[in-house]
Amino acid sequence: MKVLITGGAGFIGSTIASAFAERGVTPVVLDSLITGRQEFAQDKIFYQGDIGDGPLLDEIFARHPDIAGVVHCAALIVVPDSMRDPHRYYQVNLARTLDLAGHLVRNGCDRMIFASTAGMYRPESDLSVTEESALEPQNPYTRSKMMAELMLADFAAAYGLRVVSLRYLNPIGADPRLRTGLQNSKPTHALGKMIQCYEEGEPFTITGVDWPTRDGTAVRDYIHVWDIARAFYEAFDRFETIIPPLRPAGEGAAYQVVNLGTGGGTTVRELVGAFREVVGEEFRAVEAPARPGDVVGAFVNPDKAWELLRWKPEYTIGDAIRHSLQWAERRRELDVA
Ligand SMILES: NC(=O)c1ccc[n+]([C@@H]2O[C@H](COP(=O)([O-])OP(=O)(O)OC[C@H]3O[C@@H](n4cnc5c(N)ncnc54)[C@H](O)[C@@H]3O)[C@@H](O)[C@H]2O)c1
């Protein structure tokens, strides 16, 4: 059995590909390599191309009739870029996803697991989000993902394409066996900056200590990328139970949203503490006021993921930090090689 993974040469898609392969489902990777890395797909069946390319999709399905579903990760994902150039973001994340959905329906593929973002929710007063939280996307990237979901839900209602949308926030870490990880050597999230400060021997600056959180610092729902990958596999494995092919009229949508998260998140101070546990107490942090544009953050309630996927995160934040540091090292070796 095979699974088609779009964006399978990117950070999350490549990790998902390894998780499926380890469980005996052969990944077929489709990636344009616009941000993905060729070597992340080197031991996989790999097609370099665009998700909107109909003849290529037809060829893939003709050559691999045993593809049982698609994991759709291909996207542009950098929020500030989406604000500078929304046209490009809507083109890839929405218009090309529309084309892809058409190609899937034409080829008789009726299962999709969509990589989506829990950034589209307005957090509740305790900063948690659930599948019932209001949707309030804050930027073109997040809006493009939300619009793609709305469009996929219409496809699900009309054409028999069944879609499970997995929404999550801040994947970190790397493949625990260090086959793949982040392509970018300077990630802009707090852990990325922490690693940079650590390597340069500089103190890390905690910006904002007056937020309404348990310790006053902002909260993010960091989650190990391997845990995310496992959730995609569980959704694939349980697909027939989550969305049965034959549903009584009017019962059971062909479109399901499931949030993935830790249920509590990690504050910046907690992240610093976990980082020190991994690298040693000499790692320094200083405090400063919040910068314009900083946000308090949110965390995801994963109850539905447990109910439907029997999934919850297994790796700790310390594991994710350790794997991120190991990957930073490995990445340098790959770049030199
Ligand atoms: N990284 C995050 O913080 C995060 C959080 C929530 C959701 N997500 C979602 O997870 C998915 C994967 O994110 P990632 O962090 O692995 O990003 P990534 O940039 O590492 O991977 C995206 C991949 O898609 C490929 N791609 C882009 N446009 C394409 C196209 N038109 N045709 C074919 N391939 C194309 C890129 O080359 C890249 O390999 C995305 O859909 C993203 O919206 C990411």
Instruction: Please name each of the domains of the chain with its CATH number.
Output: 2-171+223-259 (3.40.50.720)
Q: Residue 56 in contact with residue 32, Cβ under 8 Å? A: no
What confidence score (pLDDT) does residue 253 get? Answer: 82
What confidence score (pLDDT) does residue 213 get? Answer: 96
Q: Is 297 in the pocket of ligand 1 (CB under 6 A)?
A: no
* 74 CA distance to ligand 1 middle (Å): 4
For residue range 230-287, list pLDDT tens digits in order: 999 999 999 999 998 877 776 778 999 999 999 999 999 999 999 999 998 889 999 9
Active site residue 141: yes
Q: Is 309 in the pocket of ligand 1 (CB under 6 A)?
A: no
What confidence score (pLDDT) does residue 186 get? Answer: 78
Indicate the residue type of 235.
A
CA of 88: how far to CAs of 101, 184, 244, 309, in Å? 19, 20, 36, 34
* 100 CA distance to ligand 1 middle (Å): 15
User: Phi, psi at residue 12, to the nearest 5°?
Assistant: -80, -45
Distance from C-alpha of 177 to C-alpha of 175, rounded to nearest angstrom: 5
CA of 80: how far to CAs of 147, 188, 331, in Å? 18, 11, 25
Report whether pLDDT(333) > 80. yes
What confidence score (pLDDT) does residue 4 get? Answer: 98
User: Helix, strand, or coil here: 176?
Assistant: coil
Q: Is 13 in the pocket of ligand 1 (CB under 6 A)?
A: yes
Distance from C-alpha of 237 to C-alpha of 249, rounded to nearest angstrom: 25
Q: Is 225 in the pocket of ligand 1 (CB under 6 A)?
A: no
Name the pLDDT band for 17 (thresholds 50, 70, 90). Answer: very high
Give this prediction's pTM. 0.97
Per-chain mean pLDDT for the chain: 95
What confidence score (pLDDT) does residue 335 get? Answer: 76
**Candidate list 141, 168, 233, 315, residue with the active-site label:** 141
For residue range 154-169, list pLDDT tens digits in order: 999 999 899 999 999 9
Instruction: Return the residue matching tokens 């109850």.
Output: 303
Q: Residue 62 in contact with residue 102, Cβ under 8 Å? A: no
Which stretch of DSSP H or E encloses residue 82? helix 79-84
Q: Taking each helix axis as running N to C, give the angle between helix 225-237 and helix 11-22, from 0 to 180 degrees, rounded to the nearest 10.
A: 50
CA of 270: how far to CAs of 128, 220, 283, in Å? 17, 10, 14
What confidence score (pLDDT) does residue 337 get? Answer: 61
Burial letters for 96-124: b for 16+ Cβ neighbours within 10 Å, e otherwise? bbebbbbbbeebebbbbbbbbbbbbbebe
Nearest to 114 by CA among 158, 71, 51: 71
